[in-house]
Amino acid sequence: MTDSNDDETTRNAIAAPTDSEDGSISEAKATRNDDSANEGNSTNKDGSSAKHPRRKAIAAGVGIAIMLALAGGVYAYMSRSAHEAALSDCEASISTVTKTMSLWDDARKDADETATITADQVADSATVDTLAKLYTTKDAKPQACNASDSTSTLRETTDHNKSLAGKYSDLVKRIDPAVDAVQASQALKTLTNTIGNGQSLLDSSNGQVKDESTRGVLQTAINEANDLSKNENATTQQLSDAKIKLDDAMNAVNQSVQERQADEQAAAEAATKAAAQAQAKSQMSTNNSTTGSSTANNRTTTNSTTSNGPSGNSNSGSNAASDTGTSNGTQNTTPNQSGSQSSGNGTSTQPPCNGTLENGHCWVDFGPGWSGDGWKID
């Protein structure tokens, strides 16, 4: 133990500096010790210890790195979410365009028939032009949305599709009023033409109808139609109803005209028939007068040539006269009441007299223009 202490003393003596060096070495050593102490802990004025500024810089750098890493993660997350949202919005815009295009197709189909109406069929040709521009609008399809597109591109595509959907929605809203305007204009022109026809019929039917009240109804219908045609707010239905009412009134007047014509024709035919009958009666009266005169002459002639012989009634063949004429000499044509007739060649039986038996003669009227005595054979 003693030897060890001696060795330590010897080493210290060898290492001990000289007096000239002692101050410098001690001063340098003290300076290094102070620096080492400062690298470790330092004491604040209040006596508390403080870390070295280098360590504070390292800690601050680490904090900033952590913050940047976190910010980068947040940004990446937010960028990814924004892209997904943009893609979703873009796909939704395509669906919206598809729906509005379907509505437009339906509206245009409803306008197909009205779109065939031409300018000369309406009162206002501008309505036809307006409908034609809407009806012939070219279809535009929505733009596709690709997941590989950037967020800004997807947003631009969404805006385009939304604008297109708005265009179709506007077309749907505008085409229905345009169709109504064309139909109303056509109904107005049709009504105007019908008013003119009604007025012409009213003028020409004056004094030509069986029932004059039908013309009064027609006049009222014309007045109402004229008033409605001047109303700019008149609907297609109102104009159509006015035309129907006017048509009905015109049909009633035409029917009344036909009834009067039928009555006049029937009266004319009756007058003609009555005149014919009167003429026939007059002719018959004249003929009867002539027949009576001829009959009297026949009676005189026949009686003057008749004689009663011992064998019955007989006539002188040379003096007998009759409207029936003579044949091969003179023949007695005077029957007796028993229906027998004598002649120069003998006696023959005749049928009963179907005429007027008078003084042994059978007078038979054979019609106008001839009358005489003879036998009517049934």
Domains annotated on the chain, with CATH: 190-272 (1.20.1270.90)
Q: What is the DSSP letter of 119?
A: G
Both tokens of 84, joined, read: 């997904």
Q: What is the pLDDT of residues 304-330, one digit of tens each?
A: 444 444 444 444 443 433 343 333 433
Q: In which band, very low, low, confident or very high, does the pLDDT at 378 lie, cut at 50, 70 and 90? A: very low
Any idea which residue has 């009167």 for tokens? 278
Q: What is the DSSP letter of 117?
A: -
CB 189 within 8 A of CB 237: no
Give ∠ CA 268-269-275 in degrees, rounded to 5: 90
Report the C-alpha gap between 302 and 168 in whole angstroms: 119
Q: What is the per-residue pLDDT for 11?
A: 42
Q: What is the pLDDT of residues 144-193, one digit of tens each?
A: 999 999 999 999 999 999 999 999 999 999 999 999 999 999 999 999 99
Any idea which residue has 């997350």 for tokens? 77
Q: What is the pTM of this model?
A: 0.52
Q: What is the pLDDT of residues 97-132, one digit of tens each?
A: 999 999 999 999 999 999 999 999 999 999 999 999
Please list, in sequence order, all residues whose beta carbon lies within 8 angstroms of the beta carbon of residue 217, skipping any fewer than 6 positions away: 249, 252
Which helix (H) or strand (E) segment is 209 a member of? Answer: none
